[in-house]
Structure 1
Amino acid sequence: MQSIVLLLWLALCAEQDARERQINNTLTLGAAACALAYLFITGHTWIGADASEGGWALLIVMLLTLPGYMLGRLGAADVKLLGALALATDRMYLLGTFIGAGVAVVIWLLSRRWLWSLLSQKVKQRFRQVIEEASKKQPFAPFVLAGFLLAAVWIH
């Protein structure tokens, strides 16, 4: 059940990031605040891991994302999204999500033109910014969603 809630949250973030190239602070900071409150009240993360696992996952997120943010490769929303995910999960989910997101990025880069041709016109119109070459900033949240799905399948 907890994974389903996280999947729905990540899906909302991914959809907004794909359409608008940004994620509302309400989605990222709100989820982080809820995850942190849950962590303090219950003593474990949303998925049931020890509180220390959430802390270690947050440390890993900061080590992996802050250099990318400072170099302009990741947006602030991506860092906040992954921080909230870290507080709600554990190291295994987080590292699995990173690895899965990397795999999803590679698959997307290799097959996006073919995949794009398979979509309906309505979907293409809604997400036309995702495929446009003119944009330098690619949305990262859809890949985080794919990575989390892969991690959840792999862990369970």
Structure 2
Amino acid sequence: MSLLTQLNEDLKTAMKARNKMDLTVVRSLKAAVMNEQIELGHDLTPDEEVAVVSRGLKQRRESLSEFENAGREDLIADTKAEIEVVSRYMPEQMSAEEVTKVVKETAEAVGATSKGDFGKLMGAVMPKVKGKADGKLVNQAVKDLLA
């Protein structure tokens, strides 16, 4: 089932249940997916769908960080709830151990051994873990390996 189909089904369910939080978040995700389709001019591939959902999740996490820094308790709870809803549409995330394993294997494959190889290693690792691991986690794993 495509992401757009899943979003439409969840939209109907949220409407029937009168769940305003789910309804708002699913509508925004659906709009983002449809805007991406229009921009690219074709139906999205699964990788492109994951990229759209990842962007939405990243935006909400950044907002959560800003709200926490500003002490906005009223917005923190809502943003956490939005993150939970968006996370439902993400593929299962890799653990830190799995990310470290992928980083080590890729480092051996590309011959990365020093801090100067950081960009080369990140460029090789990110396509392998795209949508399955947080970029900050990958960045830290690469830094730890090359340190």
**TM-score w.r.t. length of structure 1:** 0.30
> Whose Rg is larger?
2
**TM-score w.r.t. length of structure 2:** 0.31
